[in-house]
Structure 1
Amino acid sequence: MSQLKLEEQLCFPLYALSRKVITYYTPLLEKLDLTYPQYLVMLVLWQEPSLSVKELGERLYLDSGTLSPLLKRLEAKKFISRKRNESDERIVIISLLPGGEALKSEAASIPLAMQCSLDLSNEDISSLRSHLYQIIHKIIPPNK
């Protein structure tokens, strides 16, 4: 039953690579007082400084139960604010605060540092990212 061999699984190399890549991020992010999931939130907010929890979750493929603790911690650090929408109190708006905006320039060196750590060319990274997004878009329908 070769289909049950570890080396035949798609999930294992993705899992192992994900864990290893995140360990490379950890020391870089500690300097910013961010965890890897918090960094992902900040990446979205540096592009779009104000959006709803639902929109943020859609961008990161995370549910509100996973996002809420992350957002509370970022709010406690004064990187973001969380406010209920005045016209619909069910909607919580996340906004980037000056403290969070200030991290952007400090984080600017992280992508190149990661590329160097992984010893990958621009072409390798572009190709890998493209393939991974193709898979993501096949298995996760838009707006889900």
Structure 2
Amino acid sequence: MKYPQLKLDNQLCHRLYMASNSIARAYRDSLNQLNLTYPQYVVMMALWEKDKISIAELLEKTAIDGGAMTQILKKMSEKSLLSIYQDSQDKRKRLVQLEAKGKALQDDAASIPEQIRCRFPSINEQQALQLIQLLDLVNSDLD
């Protein structure tokens, strides 16, 4: 090979890409039971953590692209999981609030993190925490 730096086995980014795809597949069955996509699940987790937040806060919390977020919220609203309304104090600000159906979904989703964590038997808790820290550094550097 003329340029060893181009060897696929040497690429960190390709490993992250493969891991991302594998994780998305691992979530698929559990999320299908909830009738959610992974990005919708991320939005739900953010709202379960803090309900009645602005779309801007939701974008910051989830790191989902604004255009994609618009489509995600529209579909979730159609499923009666959440509602979107104008802030009474600032008409330019739009707020997102869980509906009863969205709140109830939290009970069904509570076991998903452990189901996914069990898919990584080779990684202990300390390594999982280290991986989180390393990925946070990667994301911070790339932002």
Please, what TM-score do these two structures have when normalized by structure 1? 0.91
Q: Does residue 1:127 correspond to 2:118, yes or no?
A: no
Gaps of 5+ in 1: none
Task: Summarize deviations over 1:90-141 as a string: whole Å, max 9, x none.
Answer: 221011111111111111100110011222322222121111112212222x
Report the RMSD for the aligned CA atoms in angstroms: 1.2
DSSP-derived class of the 1:34 partner: coil
Counterpart-to-counterpart distance in 1, 2:124 and 2:113: 12
Gaps of 5+ in 2: none
State which drifts further: 114-123 or 44-53: 114-123
| 1:42 alignment partner AA | M
Please, what TM-score do these two structures have when normalized by structure 2? 0.92
Counterpart-to-counterpart distance in 1, 2:108 and 2:125: 22
Match of residue 27 from structure 1? 29
Counterpart-to-counterpart distance in 2, 1:62 and 1:90: 20
DSSP-derived class of the 1:20 partner: helix
Whose radius of gyration is greater, 1 or 2?
Answer: 2
| 1:57 alignment partner AA | L
Match of residue 115 from structure 2? 113
DSSP-derived class of the 1:88 partner: coil
How many residue pairs end up in the alignment? 140
Please say if residues 57 and 64 of structure 1, whose CA atoms lie closer than 8 Å, have aligned partners that are also in contact. yes
- Which structure 2 residues correspond to residues 64-143 of structure 1 after superposition, within 5 A? 64-119=66-121, 120-140=123-143
Please say if residues 115 and 121 of structure 1, whose CA atoms lie closer than 8 Å, have aligned partners that are also in contact. no
Q: Does residue 1:7 correspond to 2:9, yes or no?
A: yes
DSSP-derived class of the 1:101 partner: helix
DSSP-derived class of the 1:89 partner: coil
| 1:133 alignment partner AA | D
2:42 to 40, 43, 47: 40
DSSP-derived class of the 2:88 partner: coil
Percent pairwise identity: 34
